[in-house]
Amino acid sequence: MTIAKTADAVSVSAGSQIGFTVTLSNSSAGAATGLSVTDTLPGGTELNWTIDAGNTDPGWSVSGSPPNQSLVYSPTTLAGNTSTTAHVVSDTTSNSCATYNNTASFTTDNGGSGEASDSETVICPTPTPTPEESPTPTPTATFTPTPTPEESPTPTPTFTPAPSPTATDTPTPTPSATETPTPTPTDTSTATPETPTPVPSPADTPTPEESPTATATATPTATATATATFTPTPTPEESPTPTATATFTPTATAIATATFTPTPTPEESPTPTATATFTPTATATATATATATATATPTATAPASPTPTPTPTPTPSATPKPPRITTQPANKTVNVGQTATFSVTATGTAPLHYQWRKNGVNISGATNSSYTTPATVAADNGSLFSVVVSNSGGSVTSNNATLTVRIPPIITTQPANKTVNAGQTAKFSVTATGTTPLQYQWMKNGVNITGATKASYTTPPTTAADNGSLFAVIVSNAAGSVTSNNAILTVR
């Protein structure tokens, strides 16, 4: 007698089902008695073991509660040339990530014992790092207005008998800056100096001819002051927009200077020379004051208020859903020479891929959701079929499905002829092989003998009438039947 323990898969993704299959096989002709099976199921976070719904032997059960559970086989005997299988399963979660070892063992009164182990790992996915956002730079702006007074006022004095110089000044200082507010001041000033009264000579003062000389100078002075204030606000899409306000207030003063030299006429007697001096002075002074206030709301660190380019946020791709088996492959029983079809139903992100296995070895070309065997032979009896379902999110292995191949009976030893004396009994026997159980039905001259259903048959005491009778047996099982040769009874 042997025991086998097989995990459903080497590893599965968290959230998939895990499971173990234990198989007890008695390949001897006699029954195994005093059978005791020990199988402590592995405990783990959020594991809860149950018998798979497809299990066909009611002798198996799970006892206890998580995390202390055991697989139990209640029968204490196992008939010869038979096997029994149990499949236990448990769902997993993201908290169940670990490797689970499972060992099963048995003992019998016949002296047989054995042990088998396997393991399965639940794997948690590696977390995907969250993309970090690019830091939002702080802008730096420089605002330097430069006033440029370029025009010089030119006062022009005009004299009549009493000269009245006039100075006109129109300075236009223009401050400039990186962000340029443009104040446009306009000043027109007129300076009119007082007219002095010259003191003439006594009577008979000759009339002088006027030869005025006027000199005017203007010295404009312009002062421009600009103040810029920036309040950055981290808004990547906006560019700074300064607002400037300028005030320009010019003043002008003109001073003119004139000198007169009178000349006497020739006819007149010489008289003392009178000299009149008139000194008007024109001074033009222009004072410009420009005040610019700029307010901007930028968000990028760059000279001269650049517009930052936001870092694109990567769009995470959807996580594929790993496959999950919703309908496990079922056990199949066929007669020798027939085929068997196994199938599985699974869900998960498409496309799903399938690979069928026989006794743990991949079957070439068996890559669909169902698999049909070739014509079975006796050696296929007891083979285990499973399938690995996979996609980009992971893989899962199905339960094992057992293939039972029924072998029709074959008579290996035919009933022999018998010779007895009248009153004696005669015993006929047959030896046959095939899938158990085998049934027997003995016949006398083609007619069934009531109660003769063993591998051998003993007649009642014979009589002369029994001489020459023909005895045969029909051997049958679930796969078919066969009739033996006739054995002749001779009664002396």
According to the model, what pLDDT value does residue 138 have?
53
Spatial neighbors of 64 by CB under 8 A, at least 6 apart, are 70
According to the model, what pLDDT value does residue 24 have?
84
Write out pLDDT tens, residues 402-457: 999 999 999 999 999 999 999 999 999 999 999 999 999 999 999 999 999 999 99
According to the model, what pLDDT value does residue 483 have?
98
Long-range CB pairs of 148-153 (<8 Å, 24+ gap) are 148/173, 148/174, 148/175, 148/176, 149/173, 149/220, 149/221, 149/222, 149/286, 149/288, 150/174, 151/220, 152/218, 152/220, 153/189, 153/218, 153/220, 153/252, 153/254, 153/284, 153/286
Nearest-angstrom CA–CA distance, 85 and 70 = 15
State the average pLDDT for the chain: 75
Burial class of residue 203, CB neighbours in 10 A (0-12, 13-18, 19+): exposed
Query: Please, are residues 53 and 99 in contact by the beta-carbon 8 Å criterion?
Result: no
Q: What is the DSSP string of 185-247?
A: ----B------------SSS---PPP--EEEE-------------------TTPPP-------
According to the model, what pLDDT value does residue 353 have?
98
- Residue stretches of the chain with pLDDT short of 50: 137, 139, 141-143, 145, 147, 149, 151-153, 155, 157-228, 230, 232, 234-246, 248, 250-262, 264-294, 296, 298-303
How long a stretch of residues is the chain?
492
Q: Which residue has the tokens 């420009």?
A: 290
According to the model, what pLDDT value does residue 57 have?
86
> What does DSSP assign to residue 176?
B
Phi, psi of 479 (to 5 degrees): -95, -15
According to the model, what pLDDT value does residue 192 have?
45
Whole-angstrom Cα Rg for the chain:
61
According to the model, what pLDDT value does residue 112 have?
79
According to the model, what pLDDT value does residue 166 have?
46
Long-range CB pairs of 461-467 (<8 Å, 24+ gap) are 461/423, 461/424, 461/425, 462/420, 462/421, 462/422, 462/423, 462/424, 462/425, 462/426, 462/489, 462/491, 463/422, 463/423, 463/491, 464/422, 464/491, 466/491, 467/491, 467/492
In 3D, which of 384, 400, 385, 393 has the Cα closest to residue 347? 393
Pairing verdict, β 418-420 and 487-491: parallel
According to the model, what pLDDT value does residue 55 have?
77
Query: Please, are residues 471 and 400 in contact by the beta-carbon 8 Å criterion?
Result: no
Burial class of residue 124, CB neighbours in 10 A (0-12, 13-18, 19+): middle
Write out pLDDT tens, residues 215-261: 444 444 444 444 445 454 544 444 444 444 445 454 444 444 444 44
According to the model, what pLDDT value does residue 370 have?
98
According to the model, what pLDDT value does residue 308 have?
58
Nearest-angstrom CA–CA distance, 75 and 97 = 35
Phi, psi of 380 (to 5 degrees): -75, -10
Phi, psi of 464 (to 5 degrees): -60, -30
Q: Which residue has the tokens 């006929």?
A: 428
Domains of the chain: 2-123 (2.60.40.1530), 324-406 (2.60.40.10), 410-491 (2.60.40.10)
According to the model, what pLDDT value does residue 300 have?
46
